Amino acid sequence: MNKKSVREMNSVQRRGNSLEAKTIRGLITISICLGIVLLVTGLGLYVYSIGRQYIKDAHYLSHIAASSVAHGTDVLEMSDGVMERYRSLSEEQTNMNGTDEYRELFSEYQRDYDYGMIVKILSQYITFDEVSDVYIAMYDEQTCRLVYIVDPDTAETLYPGEWEEVNRDGMEKFLNYDDNGILYDIDHTAKYGWMCTVGTPLRDDSGRICAFVLVDLTVDELWAGMRTYVTQITLMLLLIVLVLMLITVRKIEKHLVRPINAIADAAQAYVDDRKAGVRGGQHFSKLDIHTGDEIENLSLAMADMEGEMADFIQDLASVTAEKERISTELSVATRIQAAMLPHIFPAFPDRDEFDVYASMDPAKEVGGDFYDYFLVDDDHLCLVMADVSGKGVPAALFMMASKIMIANYAKMGRSPAEILSITNEAICANNKEEMFVTVWIGILEISSGKLIASNAGHEYPILKKDGNFEVYKDHHGMVLGYESGMKYTNYELSFNPGDKLFLYTDGVTEATDGDENLFGMDRMVQALNISSDAAPEEILKNVRKSVDEFVKEAEQFDDLTMLCFEYRSSSRS
């Protein structure tokens, strides 16, 4: 059957087949389909990205908290003590869980100094909006219970020895963790509803898990956010459909095709003149459009735009110049920071008793890591490796101030522990931004090979003695800038010809690949031992090559700083 022509249609048919009606029907259909696709896609991306980010943030939080309590307290001994006491109780005693009589069985741990320090440290990390609780606990595999060691939650504090029933699958997942990837478990509990628990194990020197630093995320908040998201998107889509239909109807009623074509022709004429180098022409101001709606406003705005385009181009040039100026200043800042660090190698060409090589690759234009080495006198060499909290220009400024203070105090003949104590006091005296810096410092007596060192919350040094590099787990003091009055201790290392020392920041061990796996300590030691007898420069190149091969195309999120020192002889040739 042949379709009727417009002339053969009655008024109702004409209106139903008009451009206006077709546009409205098509717009409604497309909007509904597009809205459903966007809603489903957006919801899926929202759940994945938000959930992933929550877990990643909680993993980072638990890792930092674990490092803080492990370096600042004897949490392993306390954990072993609480678990030993718990396992010695009878079934009748454990069933008293939550009572004052039960808590009295573990009261000695609440009075312990380390308990108070751990509560103080963990309380600082519990202020995150998405975090329900940050605490230390250990799983008892025999009873399938989570036994609390330290819980700083003031709303519902669980004291040492108190326990809760847990899912066995989740418990075994934590107890069998092999340090690969992020450790977390999502489970529904009768008491808290849906919860995501993220953890970092606390291990003793043998690698045995003594406890976990656990971070709880309330999954119900994520679900609530999803409901809000769906409601907002649905309302937004309905609003968009309504607005688009109204605009379309207005345009069709006012015969939009000709006005729009006129504006398009004027715009093309303007572009042609710009290409031909003709300026000052009048195109939009000659339009004769009187629709009385947005189209007329558009024509007037285009006329105004034509007159103001020269000013816009001039402003754009100014903005571009300002951007180039900022970029130039950042480049200068990068060069200034690089110049602040020793960067000429060989470092001491007239000294054959030792060799040293270092490198620093910032995550941004400027970074917060720094290293330093200098002769205190003819027989003493000072080595420094440090990592400032944060990144960018603030971290770089804090880094420069810290570096200068450490170098000045070292040249006064102070011991490493004294240098750290004095520097900590100076930083804490005016630290409104609450930044901090981890520092490892050592002073070598070149003639004897004896090195006196001290560690303020920095990574463990790596030593090469008897052929291979191995981690040396030294005593950690608190980071500089955390609290005044902190004391630091010295320790001694003895170097023989051929021995090496490798220092680094956490940007090496925490380099992350595309699957968010960490480079880790084991891979770093393997890279060092690729050619452990090589010169310090070659050793650093081996480590950097291994890191690059591991992360591949993943973005560098932290400064990557390394230093290698080799002791060659006890006397000058």
The pLDDT assigned to 380 comes to 95
Spatial separation of the C-alpha atoms in residues 295 and 251, rounded to whole Å:
8
Q: Is residue 156 part of a domain?
A: yes
How confident is the model over 229-271, as pLDDT tens digits?
A: 667 777 776 777 677 666 766 666 655 667 776 777 777 777 7
Q: Is the pTM of this model over 0.85?
A: no
How confident is the model over 507-522, as pLDDT tens digits?
A: 899 899 988 899 999 9
- On whether both 543 and 407 belong to a single domain, the answer is yes
Per-residue DSSP letters for 308-369?
HHHHHHHHHHHHHHHHHHHHHHHHHHHHHHHHHS---SSS-TT--SEEEEEEEE-SSSS-SE
Find the domain containing 124 and state its range.
29-223
Q: Which of 169, 198, 223 is the last residue of a domain?
A: 223
Q: In this predicted model, which residue has the larger pLDDT, 431 or 140? A: 140
The pLDDT assigned to 573 comes to 45
- On whether both 147 and 69 belong to a single domain, the answer is yes
Mean pLDDT calculated for residue range 296-304: 72
- On whether both 548 and 407 belong to a single domain, the answer is yes
Q: Which of 173, 202, 223 is the last residue of a domain?
A: 223
Q: Is residue 288 part of a domain?
A: yes
Mean pLDDT calculated for residue range 105-131: 83
pLDDT at residue 379 tops 90: yes
pLDDT class of 338 with cuts at 50, 70, 90:
low
Q: Is residue 18 part of a domain?
A: no
The pLDDT assigned to 217 comes to 81
- On whether both 375 and 504 belong to a single domain, the answer is yes
In terms of average pLDDT, the best of 33-42, 120-129, 152-161, 466-475 is: 466-475
Q: In this predicted model, which residue has the larger pLDDT, 560 or 9? A: 560
Q: Is residue 190 part of a domain?
A: yes
Q: Is residue 432 part of a domain?
A: yes
Q: Locate tokens 């470092």: which residue?
A: 347
Spatial separation of the C-alpha atoms in residues 148 and 247, rounded to whole Å:
63
Mean pLDDT calculated for residue range 99-103: 92
Q: Which of 315, 332, 349 is the last residue of a domain?
A: 332
Q: Is-contact 372 341, C-beta < 8 A?
A: yes
How far from each other are the two terminal CA atoms of the chain, in whole angstroms? 108
Q: Is residue 5 part of a domain?
A: no
Q: Sort strands 193-203 and 209-218 into parallel, antiparallel or unpaired.
A: antiparallel
Domain total of the chain: 3
Residue 545, domain CATH = 3.60.40.10
- On whether both 312 and 355 belong to a single domain, the answer is no
How confident is the model over 384-412, as pLDDT tens digits?
A: 999 988 777 777 788 888 999 999 999 99
Number of neighbours of residue 71 by Cβ within 10 angstroms: 19
- On whether both 207 and 307 belong to a single domain, the answer is no
- On whether both 494 and 443 belong to a single domain, the answer is yes
- On whether both 353 and 436 belong to a single domain, the answer is yes
Q: What is the mean pLDDT of the chain?
A: 83
Q: In this predicted model, which residue has the larger pLDDT, 340 or 526? A: 526
Spatial separation of the C-alpha atoms in residues 567 and 22, rounded to whole Å:
84
- On whether both 144 and 213 belong to a single domain, the answer is yes
Residue 187, domain CATH = 3.30.450.20
- On whether both 310 and 372 belong to a single domain, the answer is no
Q: Locate tokens 């909007």: which residue?
A: 31
- On whether both 145 and 280 belong to a single domain, the answer is no
How confident is the model over 52-97, as pLDDT tens digits?
A: 887 888 888 888 988 988 888 888 999 999 999 999 999 999 999 9
- On whether both 522 and 376 belong to a single domain, the answer is yes
Q: Which residues lie below 8 Å from residue 501, measured CB to CB, with a gap of 6+? A: 383, 442, 451, 461, 462, 463, 464, 493, 495, 564, 565, 566, 567
Q: Is residue 282 part of a domain?
A: yes
Q: Is residue 274 part of a domain?
A: yes
